[in-house]
Amino acid sequence: MQTIRSIKKMQAVARQFAAEGKTIGLVPTMGFLHEGHLSLIDRAKKAADVVITTIFVNPTQFTPHEDLTKYPRDEKGDIRKIKSAGCDIVFIPKAIDIYPDDFQTYVSVEKLSQTLEGAARPTHFRGVTTIVAKLFNITRPDVAVFGMKDFQQAIVLKQMTHDLGYPLKLIIAPTVREKDGLAMSSRNKYFTPDQRPEARALYYALRTAKEMVASGIDSARKIEKEMRAVIAATCPSAEIDYIAFTDDVGLKKVGRVAKSTICSLAVRMHRVRLIDNMKLTGRG
């Protein structure tokens, strides 16, 4: 596996792959990798001839009150994991190369970036779409893989890919969970062993929602009420940022659960903000 840090070099290598007729799969990450990230590499390997994983803790997607310097990092460990996942290239650009001092161009998906996570973190998605657009331009992927864990992010990026006409297929891969259901996340490491069991609250709430739908209840209001009770019982100090029932394309809020309904939620507990989501009908 090759480690590339220069944008120019990455562009040249990507062009070379294309000249050889090889399709490129891209997996953008912020590092501190877990099995969820590695599952995206696996998925990309199935869909493309060569896979490029990127590690970049993107400053523009952190909102002013979020601490970029505290974001967990483990470059050595990440490179080892990416290599053993069978990835071909790891691209680790420098912040100053991605955002030079005279940088002033942003990509923004107007409507979809404003609800849910966007309401809580106003400039977040503008940062995400800007960095992903840059990574698309540098690596020219045929396929890009993102996690369902960040459902709204995937939807926003789908819209950007469509609107800007990137010639690539965007794949949304399923959420990988810990044994107790907690969605894997780099942020989970912030919990102490005592606090950690309470982090199951989100998964328990989503399972409850799914079970209620399976039993014939389709009122979002009723389901939300029950979810709030489950969260309070599992983690009494939890503060619910939002619980939302939306469709899976335009993120339109729905009052009744239908086939395409996704339930998304954000909860703060022990100073950690967790997000999760689940499709409420069928599998997954």
| Alpha helices (H) along 115-189 | 117-120, 124-139, 151-164
176 binds ligand AMP (CB under 6 A): yes
144 binds ligand AMP (CB under 6 A): no
98 SS3 class = helix
Please pick, from the candidates 183, 206, 267, 280, the single residue that binds ligand AMP as defined by CB under 6 A. Answer: 183
Q: How far apart (Å, rounded) are the C-alpha atoms in residues 113 and 123?
A: 9
Please pick, from the candidates 185, 234, 261, 277, the single residue that binds ligand AMP as defined by CB under 6 A. Answer: 185
269 binds ligand AMP (CB under 6 A): no
93 binds ligand AMP (CB under 6 A): no
Nearer to ligand AMP, 49 or 74 (CB): 74
Q: How many residues bind ligand AMP (CB under 6 A)?
A: 17
Q: How far apart (Å, rounded) are the C-alpha atoms in residues 103 and 249?
A: 32
Please pick, from the candidates 53, 129, 130, 186, the single residue that binds ligand AMP as defined by CB under 6 A. Answer: 186
Handedness of CA 283, 52, 153, 270 (dihedral sign): positive
The four Cα atoms 128, 129, 134, 137 give a dihedral, to 10 degrees, of: 140
37 binds ligand AMP (CB under 6 A): yes
39 binds ligand AMP (CB under 6 A): yes
Numbers of helices and strands, H then E, in the chain: 9, 9
135 binds ligand AMP (CB under 6 A): no
Catalytic residue list: 37
Which residues lie near ligand AMP (CB under 6 A)? 29-30, 36-37, 39-40, 146-147, 149-150, 173, 175-176, 183-186
